[in-house]
Amino acid sequence: MATAFEFAPAIALFPLAAFVIALAFGKYMPKKGALAGIAATAASLVFSLWAFVTVAGGETYHETLYEWAVGDPTSEAGVQGIEFTFGILLDPLSTLMLVIVSLIALLVHVFSLGYMNAEGETGLPRYYAELGLFTFSMLAFVFADNLLMAFMFFELVGLCSYLLIGFWFRTESAPSAAKKAFLVTRFGDYFFLLGVVAIAATFGTLQFAGPESFVDAAADAIDGEETLFGFGAETWVTITGLLVLGGVIGKSAQFPLHTWLPDAMEGPTTVSALIHAATMVAAGVYLVARMFGYYALSPTALAIIAFVGGFTALFAATMGVVKDDIKQVLAYSTISQYGYMMLGLGVGGYVAGVFHLMNHAFFKALLFLGAGAVIILMHHEQDMWKMGGLKDKAPVTYYTFLAGALALAGIIPFSGFWSKDEILYDAFVLGLEDPVFGVAYAMALLAVFFTGLYTFRMVILTFHGEPRSEAAADPHPVGPSVTFPLATLGVLALVAGVANLAPIAKLTGMDITYLEFWLDGEYGVVDGLTYTAYTETIGYPAGEIVSEQATLLIAAGLGLGLAVAGALTAYVLYSGPEPVRHTEKLGSVYGVLRNNYYQDEYQVWLARNLTLPVARGADRFDQGVIDGVVNGVSSVSLFGGGGVKRLQTGVVTNYAALIMLGFLALLLVFGLHGGWFL
């Protein structure tokens, strides 16, 4: 009887096949390759679910399948004999993620039928091929069993997002945004790769799990108080962990490498859904979760993760408040939400972080697809100020979008509430003990308010009030390929929170924190990759106010209250048939927010006004000095030749004289030297 695990590679290979088919034959296929993609992602989903069920049945899978490059251990001492392999690690975390990714990918494919095909786009085979490659890369990244494989597919994910963001390459802005996305994440990946190299060179292994893993090796090194590359083991773990984190910050769009994400809205909205919910951006946070055991060894690294996460959450949320483009708002919300996840992981809330990752995948995909539907409705208009009143004309879109918005804002009982609350709770109890985490928590908490504000600002401006343009008054209809994914995700956004009702569990004592059990190895388990193991390694103290339940209620109340406050503020400010912008109230702050704290400006300045002039200077130096020396040598030689040939005056008497002079010179030198005249 074949088991699900034997087919594990197929989970990723189906979309790869779809990529090849769509690229080669998409032109000739009905729907231009969409069907291949849908079939492939559906198959991936089926196999993912099968694997998920198998893991639920208590089995896990960790196998090296392919030796990519093999060192020769016989001739090389130490880590140079390392083998670089491809393998599959199917544990609770990765199977969960596989399901999420393949599900979202499937829905995006289906939605694309309505969004891309129906709109008569050109280049559809390319589009579907790239989607397939994107899905393939992400799935392979998810089930990678070692850091190098993870890095490789991490990079491929970056490539695919480049290609898809730049899908409309005939415009000026899309290629620019694509370039920016790749370049900024590449900058992060530079650190990631350095981290991979450093970890490999230090521990001689890159495995995530098992006794041969670098996590165990690092733990041993710390226990043994070894010195690695001139640093104490823990310091070195921190350094390497932070290097890898560079890649995470780039991909998950954390401050300061978040600037690419809003620009990435230049891609088709479906692509945005995929990038934000399940692939590109999720990859970063997933990686932290994947190698959480390693970060658990370094409190410093975790603190930095938490702090960056908290700061990004607030930072991005404030910018989201002033955006007019519906996709821009969603983009900043993504940055902000991933900040939460980082915070959750940083404070040791492994379950909370993964939980939010899952929920976010559903509701953010929903929101983006919803936004896509809105854009279809609006005949490709994205400015919210030109919308309004769509609520009645597109009820499915509206209600599903609303579900997503409620989840995003974290309103009970939508899924977002449960996961965000858990993150905030974890941060809160830690923040009570440690002021660094306290600050991170405070920022994240404040961000909750802004989240509610921008979310409902978006909902109200888009769907409520009166139509503010002709397009809004007469929307384009949407088909079932649009509404089906929306409905699916809408349901998920509502109910996904059930997976881990931690507050209720804590209050009532019921064993209903399924996700925690799942991640803690109640079902299938790979040694060391459990929540409990991580928590033990970190050993964070948990503060409380009065009692655990009270603390829980305080935290939840603060979060929910602020979210509702934000939503209400939005309602107050923007409801009504003719909402006003309220920008003047913000004064100069508006400019700062509107310009995204000038983050783009300084990064562009770095590229354009610093790097480029330096490069031009180097070029001038190269042409002038280095090449100048080369050409100078040749000029001097020829000039010398010009001098030498002047000896040849053409007058034979001169020759006789010169011959005699030369002869005399020889005579004098050698005669004197040899003593002939004595």
Radius of gyration of the chain (CA): 31
Give the nearer residue to another protein in terms of CB position, either 151 or 401. 151
Cα 386 to Cα 572: distance, rounded to the nearest angstrom: 19
What angle, 0 to 180 degrees and rounded to 10, lies between the N-to-C axes of helices 435-463 and 395-409? Answer: 170
Cα 307 to Cα 347: distance, rounded to the nearest angstrom: 9
Q: Which residues pair with 90 in a beta bridge?
A: 61
Cα 387 to Cα 22: distance, rounded to the nearest angstrom: 36
> Per rule CB under 8 A, is residue 444 in the interface with another protein?
no
CA torsion angle for 351, 353, 357, 360 (degrees, to 10)?
110
Among candidates 23, 92, 165, 102, which has minimal Cα distance to 499? 92
Assess contact for 4 and 53: CB atoms under 8 A.
yes
Residues 200-219: x where in contact with another protein by CB under 8 A, - otherwise, as a string: xxx-----------------
> Per rule CB under 8 A, is residue 572 in the interface with another protein?
no
**Paired tokens of 458:** 């978006």
Cα 352 to Cα 433: distance, rounded to the nearest angstrom: 19
As measured in angstroms, the least distance from the Cβ of 187 to another protein is 6
Cα 380 to Cα 373: distance, rounded to the nearest angstrom: 10
Cβ density class 278-316: b for 16+ within 10 Å, e for less: bbbbbbbbbbbbbbbbbbbbbbebbbbbbbbbbbbbbbb
| Residue 325, φ and ψ in degrees, nearest 5 | -85, 130
Residue 434's SS3 state is coil
As measured in angstroms, the least distance from the Cβ of 606 to another protein is 11
> Per rule CB under 8 A, is residue 194 in the interface with another protein?
yes
Assess contact for 253 and 342: CB atoms under 8 A.
no
Give the nearer residue to another protein in terms of CB position, either 568 or 626. 626
Cα 236 to Cα 228: distance, rounded to the nearest angstrom: 7
Give the nearer residue to another protein in terms of CB position, either 179 or 581. 179
Give the nearer residue to another protein in terms of CB position, either 213 or 530. 213
Residue 144's SS3 state is strand
> Per rule CB under 8 A, is residue 616 in the interface with another protein?
yes
Among candidates 270, 223, 448, 265, which has minimal Cα distance to 373? 270
Strands (E), 413-489: none
Residue range at the interface with another protein (CB under 8 A); choices 104-112, 422-430, 560-568, 647-655: 647-655
> Per rule CB under 8 A, is residue 256 in the interface with another protein?
no
Residue range at the interface with another protein (CB under 8 A); choices 369-377, 569-577, 578-586, 663-671: 663-671
Q: Which of 6, 607, 610, 632 binds another protein (CB under 8 A)?
A: 607
Give the nearer residue to another protein in terms of CB position, either 265 or 429. 265
Cα 521 to Cα 209: distance, rounded to the nearest angstrom: 14
Give the nearer residue to another protein in terms of CB position, either 28 or 585. 28
As measured in angstroms, the least distance from the Cβ of 247 to another protein is 12
> Per rule CB under 8 A, is residue 263 in the interface with another protein?
no
> Per rule CB under 8 A, is residue 169 in the interface with another protein?
yes
Residue type, 454: Y
Residue type, 154: F
As measured in angstroms, the least distance from the Cβ of 669 to another protein is 8
Give the nearer residue to another protein in terms of CB position, either 550 or 661. 661
Q: Which of 70, 568, 589, 610 binds another protein (CB under 8 A)?
A: 70
Residue range at the interface with another protein (CB under 8 A); choices 94-102, 187-195, 449-457, 524-532: 187-195
Query: How many residues make contact with another protein (CB under 8 A)?
Result: 92
Q: Which of 53, 65, 568, 666 binds another protein (CB under 8 A)?
A: 666
Residue range at the interface with another protein (CB under 8 A); choices 46-54, 449-457, 486-494, 629-637: 629-637
> Per rule CB under 8 A, is residue 656 in the interface with another protein?
yes
Give the nearer residue to another protein in terms of CB position, either 53 or 618. 618
> Per rule CB under 8 A, is residue 78 in the interface with another protein?
yes
> Per rule CB under 8 A, is residue 622 in the interface with another protein?
yes
Give the nearer residue to another protein in terms of CB position, either 126 or 258. 126
As measured in angstroms, the least distance from the Cβ of 10 to another protein is 17
> Per rule CB under 8 A, is residue 657 in the interface with another protein?
yes
**Paired tokens of 611:** 């790097």
Assess contact for 11 and 98: CB atoms under 8 A.
yes
As measured in angstroms, the least distance from the Cβ of 641 to another protein is 4
As measured in angstroms, the least distance from the Cβ of 562 to another protein is 39
Residue range at the interface with another protein (CB under 8 A); choices 312-320, 488-496, 591-599, 668-676: 668-676
Give the nearer residue to another protein in terms of CB position, either 132 or 467. 132
> Per rule CB under 8 A, is residue 635 in the interface with another protein?
no
Q: Give, as ranges, the residues between 383 and 442 that touch another protein (CB under 8 A).
A: none
Q: Which of 510, 550, 610, 661 binds another protein (CB under 8 A)?
A: 661
> Per rule CB under 8 A, is residue 585 in the interface with another protein?
no
**Paired tokens of 660:** 């005699």
> Per rule CB under 8 A, is residue 668 in the interface with another protein?
no
| Cα 12-15-20 angle, rounded to 5 deg | 125
> Per rule CB under 8 A, is residue 156 in the interface with another protein?
yes
As measured in angstroms, the least distance from the Cβ of 475 to another protein is 29
Residues 80-109: x where in contact with another protein by CB under 8 A, - otherwise, as a string: xxx-x-------------------------
Strands (E), 271-342: none
> Per rule CB under 8 A, is residue 175 in the interface with another protein?
yes
Among candidates 241, 232, 275, which has minimal Cα distance to 105? 275
Q: Which of 17, 159, 498, 586 binds another protein (CB under 8 A)?
A: 159
> Per rule CB under 8 A, is residue 606 in the interface with another protein?
no
Q: What is the sign, positive or negative, of the torsion defined by CA atoms of 182, 183, 184, 189? A: positive
Cβ density class 385-407: b for 16+ within 10 Å, e for less: ebbbbbbebbebbbbbbbbbbbb
The secondary structure of 336-386 as a DSSP string is HHHHHHHHHHHTT-HHHHHHHHHHHHHHHHHHHHHHHHHHHHTTS--BGGG
> Per rule CB under 8 A, is residue 235 in the interface with another protein?
no
Among candidates 360, 281, 354, which has minimal Cα distance to 530? 354
Give the nearer residue to another protein in terms of CB position, either 53 or 661. 661
The secondary structure of 502-553 as a DSSP string is HHHHHHH--S--HHHHHHTTSSS--TT-SHHHHHHHH------BSBHHHHHH
Residue type, 355: F
As measured in angstroms, the least distance from the Cβ of 27 to another protein is 11
Q: Which of 20, 42, 119, 176 binds another protein (CB under 8 A)?
A: 176
User: Which residue is it, tokens 């089906």?
Assistant: 484
> Per rule CB under 8 A, is residue 667 in the interface with another protein?
yes
Q: Which of 93, 142, 198, 448 binds another protein (CB under 8 A)?
A: 198
Residue range at the interface with another protein (CB under 8 A); choices 191-199, 254-262, 443-451, 496-504: 191-199
> Per rule CB under 8 A, is residue 550 in the interface with another protein?
no
Cα 604 to Cα 599: distance, rounded to the nearest angstrom: 9
Q: Which of 15, 114, 166, 521 binds another protein (CB under 8 A)?
A: 166
> Per rule CB under 8 A, is residue 649 in the interface with another protein?
yes
Q: Which of 25, 598, 605, 670 binds another protein (CB under 8 A)?
A: 670
Residue type, 228: L
> Per rule CB under 8 A, is residue 597 in the interface with another protein?
no
